[in-house]
């Protein structure tokens, strides 16, 4: 998952406004138009000139002469429309008719710094080593916002400047959409997802169902235990218990269950001892 070029300018008709989405029950929860959480027209993005030089997709949003003439300091790219949708963050340059689609899992850090919203993007390849990690810091500066869910139109001077209020809305909208798009499961060494136990898999929790019944039946239709499956209370458990008892210095038979015949036989012997020898200390009643 990486940042992708955007060749068509976004339009309001491409989205469902968040206030409309929350005010009515959607016809379907699958598919449909992305939900527009916030639109910030005529914004400015800022990044280091060195980052722009090494990331041509971002440099394409700026004037080429500006990028080449910039020193090592920050590069300001104006005339950027910011579209914060439920599926991705969209940046569109109205000057150069080019844009970028930024998936939310790519955004590793989101923070508000006064009038700016700081984003740290992980642009590394999925199999990149620690030495090859590729991060880029991007700052969003919104002058005005529209189509935001919060009907509380923050007054500019209430809790700061108008620019700070706009930055707060941008930060909140991105944070909300990040929660809707969690990071994908991490991949293990063999390409499998870590924590690969799937409790919904047939037989994964130990239950025999119609889906995994074939694993417990042989060709004659007789019940069998799949190879490698442990049986709680089975012969292996009894053998291990007996071995442990012998290793701890207990006598033969310690740690082993007695059968009903052995119990009855022991009762008979104790009954005889109770007549000819000492009186039995207990009596089995059932």
User: pLDDT, tens digit, for every residue of 168-185?
Assistant: 999 999 999 999 988 776
pLDDT of amino acid 286: 54
Residue 97: CB atoms within 10 A of its CB come to 11
Task: Tell me the two tokens of residue 167.
Answer: 């930055």
Q: How far is CA 157 from CA 12, 154, 171, 245, in A?
A: 29, 8, 19, 79
Most confident option among 17-21, 201-205, 230-234, 245-249: 17-21
pLDDT of amino acid 118: 97
pLDDT of amino acid 131: 82
**Position 234 pLDDT exceeds 60:** no
pTM of the predicted protein model: 0.62
The mean pLDDT value for 205-221 works out to: 70
**Checking DSSP bridges between strand 135-141 and strand 35-48, what pairing results, if any?**
antiparallel
Q: How far apart are the first and last CA of the chain?
A: 70
CATH code, residues 4-180: 2.30.29.30
Most confident option among 18-27, 134-143, 277-286: 134-143
pLDDT band at 248 (very low <50, low <70, confident <90, very high): low
pLDDT of amino acid 152: 45
Domain ranges for the chain, please list them: 4-180, 213-273
- Averaged pLDDT score across all residues of the chain: 77
**Position 279 pLDDT exceeds 60:** no
Where is average pLDDT lowest: 64-68, 175-179, 224-228, 265-269? 265-269
């Amino acid at each position: 998952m990486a940042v992708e070029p955007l060749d068509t300018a976004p339009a309001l008709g491409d989205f469902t406004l968040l206030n409309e989405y929350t005010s009515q029950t959607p016809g379907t929860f699958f598919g449909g138009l992305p939900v527009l959480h916030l639109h910030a027209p005529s914004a400015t993005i800022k990044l280091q000139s060195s980052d722009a030089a090494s990331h041509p997709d971002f440099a394409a949003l700026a004037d080429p002469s500006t990028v080449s003439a910039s020193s090592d300091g920050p590069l300001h790219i104006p005339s950027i429309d910011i579209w914060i949708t439920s599926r991705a963050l969209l940046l569109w340059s109205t000057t150069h008719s080019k844009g970028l689609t930024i998936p939310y899992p790519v955004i590793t850090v989101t923070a508000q710094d006064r009038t700016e919203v700081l984003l740290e993007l992980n642009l590394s390849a999925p199999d990149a080593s620690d030495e090859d990690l590729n991060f880029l810091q991007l700052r969003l500066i919104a002058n005005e916002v529209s189509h935001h869910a919060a009907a509380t139109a923050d007054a500019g001077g209430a809790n700061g400047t108008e620019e700070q209020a706009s930055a707060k809305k941008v930060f909140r909208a991105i944070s909300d959409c990040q929660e809707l798009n969690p990071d994908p499961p991490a991949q293990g060494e063999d390409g499998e997802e870590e924590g690969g136990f799937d409790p919904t898999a047939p037989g994964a929790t130990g239950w025999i169902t119609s889906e995994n019944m074939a694993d417990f039946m042989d060709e004659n239709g007789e019940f069998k235990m799949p190879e490698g499956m442990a049986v709680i209370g089975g012969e292996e458990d009894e053998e291990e218990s007996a071995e442990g008892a012998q290793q701890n210095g207990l006598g033969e038979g310690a740690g082993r269950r007695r059968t009903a015949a052995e119990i009855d036989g022991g009762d008979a012997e104790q009954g005889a001892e109770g007549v000819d020898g000492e009186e039995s200390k207990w009596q089995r009643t059932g």
